[in-house]
């Protein structure tokens, strides 16, 4: 495969990586997890990263989002080189230009749901408190959790917490949202809730990059890329999500994944 196989044909580039590697030198011998990743994500795309356990999916997500530093190569967000930034600069980019949804919500137990969502937005723009509050309230209403805004985080369901995570990720109006196994700890009903929310986010034009092991979640993406042993070995264009075509779409994706040895 060539670099072009992992590059959509049109649209403004939001994120790109070039010759991205990640090696852990704490092992003997050192362990190379990413072997040189070339990837382009266009504005408004929903890109899904898949692969067998240990293929490097989460490492790739963390490396392109600045959560972890690659060993070599380059990452650019909206044309800005990220790999040369120091820790404080990178933290600022994550806070103001990126949103994150993880498998676990990582909320503060001493704050209610609404304040957990609001906190990063206030930190990113402390002088815009009223606008941030209005934005958070609108997000909670949109994603069906306004009625639990005053609840503690142990008083809501896992699906509600993940929808709150999506609200928190969007509260700072990021240019890209990263999701790492966002349904991994949920049952099928709650997973559907969360994927519906992410599909809505994408339909608004937000760029989404998601790692998942679940083909039922992966079919929501525009494009699926497949990792094996730290390399991108194939990609598949799925096109725009349609609930009416969900079964056929998943069947086609499963056949492709089986051919890749998933």
- Give the domain extent around 56: 3-108+153-259
pLDDT category, 232, cuts 50, 70, 90? very high
Specify the CATH number for the domain of residue 87.
Answer: 3.40.50.300
Task: Judge whether 122 lies within some domain.
Answer: no
Q: Is residue 164 in some structural domain? A: yes
Evaluate whether residue 173 is within a structural domain.
yes
Q: Is residue 138 part of a domain?
A: no
pLDDT band of residue 5 (cuts 50, 70, 90) is: very low
- Please tell me the predicted confidence (pLDDT) of residue 10: 61
Whether 71 is in a domain gets the answer: yes
Length of the chain equals 262
Q: Is residue 72 included in any domain, yes or no?
A: yes
Work out the mean pLDDT of the chain and round it to a whole number: 93
Task: Report the pLDDT value the prediction gives residue 6, as an integer from 0 to 100.
Answer: 53
Cα 247 to Cα 117, 195, 215: the distances in Å are 34, 15, 11
140, part of any domain: no
pLDDT > 90: what percent of the chain? 90
With b for 16 or more beta-carbon neighbours within 10 A and e for fewer, the 8-19 pattern comes to: beeeebbbbbee
Query: Is 219 within the bounds of a domain?
Result: yes
Note the pLDDT tens digit of each residue in 165-207: 999 999 999 999 999 999 998 999 999 999 999 999 999 999 9
Q: Give the Cα-Cα-Cα angle 175, 178, 183 (nearest 5 degrees).
A: 140
Domain count, the chain: 1
- Tell me: pLDDT of 216 over 80: yes
The upper half-sphere exposure of residue 98, i.e. CA atoms within 13 Å in the direction of its Cβ, equals 23
Per-residue pLDDT tens digits for 45-74: 999 999 999 999 999 999 999 999 999 999
Phi-psi region of 113 (alpha: psi -120 to 50; beta: other; left: phi over 0): alpha
């Amino acid at each position: 495969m060539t670099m072009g196989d992992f590059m959509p044909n049109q649209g403004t580039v939001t994120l790109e990586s070039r010759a991205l590697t990640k090696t852990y030198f704490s092992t003997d011998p050192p362990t190379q997890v990413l072997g040189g990743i070339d990837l382009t994500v266009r504005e408004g795309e929903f890109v899904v990263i898949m692969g067998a356990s240990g293929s490097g999916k989460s490492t790739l997500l963390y490396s392109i989002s600045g959560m972890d530093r690659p060993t070599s190569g380059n990452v650019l967000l909206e044309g800005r080189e990220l790999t040369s930034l120091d820790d404080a600069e990178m933290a600022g980019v994550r806070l103001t230009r990126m949103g994150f949804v993880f498998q676990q919500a990582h909320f503060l137990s001493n704050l209610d749901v609404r304040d957990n969502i609001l906190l990063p937005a206030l930190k990113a723009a402390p002088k815009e408190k009223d606008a941030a509050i209005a934005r958070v309230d609108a997000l909670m209403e949109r994603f069906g959790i306004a009625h639990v805004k005053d609840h503690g985080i142990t008083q809501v369901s896992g699906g509600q917490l993940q929808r709150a995570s999506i609200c928190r990720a969007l509260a700072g109006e990021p240019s890209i949202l990263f999701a790492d196994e966002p349904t991994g700890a949920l049952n099928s009903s709650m997973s559907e809730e969360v994927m519906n929310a992410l599909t809505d986010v994408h339909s608004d034009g937000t760029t989404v990059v998601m790692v998942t092991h679940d083909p039922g979640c992966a079919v929501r993406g525009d494009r699926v890329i497949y990792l094996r042993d730290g390399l991108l070995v194939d990609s598949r264009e799925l096109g725009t999500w349609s609930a009416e075509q969900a079964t056929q779409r998943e069947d086609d994706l499963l056949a492709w994944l089986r051919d890749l040895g998933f």
